[in-house]
Structures are given as C-alpha cells and as structure tokens.
Amino acid sequence: MKRKTNDTNVSTRWTFQNGTPFPSGWRSISWIHPRARRCEALPTGPPSLRAFTLIELIVVMVLLAIGAAMAVPMFSLTSSAQVRSAANMIAADLEYAKSMAISRGQKHAVVFNATGETYQLQDQTGTVLTHPVKRGFNYVVDFSMDSRLDQVDLSSVSFDTTSTVKFDPLGSPFNGDDNPLNSGSVEVSVGFVSRTISVEPVTGIISVN
C-alpha cells in the first residue's frame, strides 16, 4: 500500500534543505518512497577527486623514463667488462677474417699494432676490408677512439714473433711471414684484469682464455 504525503510539505523541506525551489516535475508525485525520504537530509559534500587511470600512469612512467635516459650520460664500462668485450670483439674479428678466406678462396689477414692499440682486416693484396656493418668505413678497430673501450691495452701480440695472422682458404692459420702458424695469441688488459685470445695451429680454432 503506497503511503501518500503532502506535496506542500515535501516542497518546503526540499527548499529548506537544498536552498533551491522544489523541481516542478516532481510536484505531481503524491508519494515518496521511505528510502527517498531518508535521502532528503543527506549532507552534500565536495565532489570526489578523480583517480588516475592505468593508461595515464603508464604514460607518466614512460615520460619519466625518457627524461631520465636523456639526462643521465652513458658511463664507461668497468675494467673487467671492457677487457671481456675487447677480447670477444677480437675473437669475432679473427673468425670473420677466417670465414672470408674460406668463402672467397684467398688468404685474409688480421694485422695488429700493439703500440697504437689498433688492428685491421686485410685481403690477400693487403687492402683493408670494408666493414660489413659500418658501410663506407674500413675494417679498422682503434680501442683508443672508442669511449666504451678506451682503457683497453693490447698488452702483447705474438704470431710466431710477428704481429700478423693469416688464414688460407681452408681456414688454416699462418704467421706474418706466410709460414704455417706454430703459436698465436693476443692479450688484452685493463690494469690487473686481462684476457688472452688464442689461435690454434693447423685448425685455426679461436678461443678466449
């Protein structure tokens, strides 16, 4: 059974509590549900603050990461990391020279300059190869010009007392005098940290110790 109420009393209570005229569309309502009546006296507070969405948070985090990357300079690698990186680089370049000798059917050489901390890859005519990644640049590695490896020192280079190792079309190593290699190694170091790259006779297997 719906309970009726007086429209005038409702309008008066509304105007008193809300400070605004009672909505004209509601004057035709002859009754108010008990729950609605209880809601009439609820205090009105300030609007709630809108929370950030997940997408907005992600965007902010990305912007902060970009800003940090632009603000923080790239630091040099540690000594041990530089030695390890330099040794792996030399080993990879020796492997590349050997693979080029096999694929092209002619000797290819890696010529080291321990004093200048450099080495370069050459074909059988002594012409420096073009770098396979850095197009337009010769295949010359200069540790002193690389900010990531500028502490690396070519401590010793010995391919049967020469500073050159060559690979024939079978991948076999030779020294700088074009004689079969008996012993070949390159040592790189930074301070007391060092690594040795070895080239095995006959097989030309390259390893880092």
Residue 104 sits in the same domain as residue 25: no
Residue 89 sits in the same domain as residue 18: no
pLDDT digits (tens, 9 = 90+) for 89-124: 999 999 999 999 999 999 999 999 999 899 999 999
**pLDDT given at position 78:** 80
**pLDDT given at position 69:** 56
What is the rounded distance in angstroms from the CA atom of residue 153 to the CA atom of residue 83? 9
Residue 151 sits in the same domain as residue 101: yes
Residue 2 binned pLDDT confidence (cut-offs 50, 70, 90): very low
Residue 8 sits in the same domain as residue 110: no
User: Is residue 136 included in any domain, yes or no?
Assistant: yes
User: Is residue 185 included in any domain, yes or no?
Assistant: yes
Residue 34 sits in the same domain as residue 127: no
User: Is residue 173 included in any domain, yes or no?
Assistant: yes
Structural domain containing residue 24: 1-45
Q: Are 167 and 97 in contact (CB under 8 A)?
A: yes
Residue 59 has pLDDT above 70, yes or no: no
Residue 121 sits in the same domain as residue 177: yes
Residue 91 sits in the same domain as residue 176: yes
Residue 9 sits in the same domain as residue 85: no
CATH number for the domain harbouring residue 95: 3.55.40.10
Residue 19 sits in the same domain as residue 113: no
User: Is residue 52 included in any domain, yes or no?
Assistant: no
Once rounded to an integer, what is the mean pLDDT over residues 177-187? 96
Residue 85 sits in the same domain as residue 180: yes
Q: Are 93 and 196 in contact (CB under 8 A)?
A: no
User: Is residue 51 included in any domain, yes or no?
Assistant: no
User: Is residue 70 included in any domain, yes or no?
Assistant: no
Residue 120 sits in the same domain as residue 184: yes
Q: Residue 177 is encoded by which pair of tokens?
A: 């005098």
User: Is residue 68 included in any domain, yes or no?
Assistant: no
**pLDDT given at position 30:** 45
Residue ranges in the chain assigned as alpha helix (H): 7-18, 34-39, 54-71, 79-104
19: exposed, middle or buried (Cβ count in 10 Å: 0-12, 13-18, 19+): exposed
User: Is residue 140 included in any domain, yes or no?
Assistant: yes
User: Domain total for the chain?
Assistant: 2
Residue 98 sits in the same domain as residue 18: no
Q: Which of 42-56, 85-99, 148-162 is the least confident region? A: 42-56
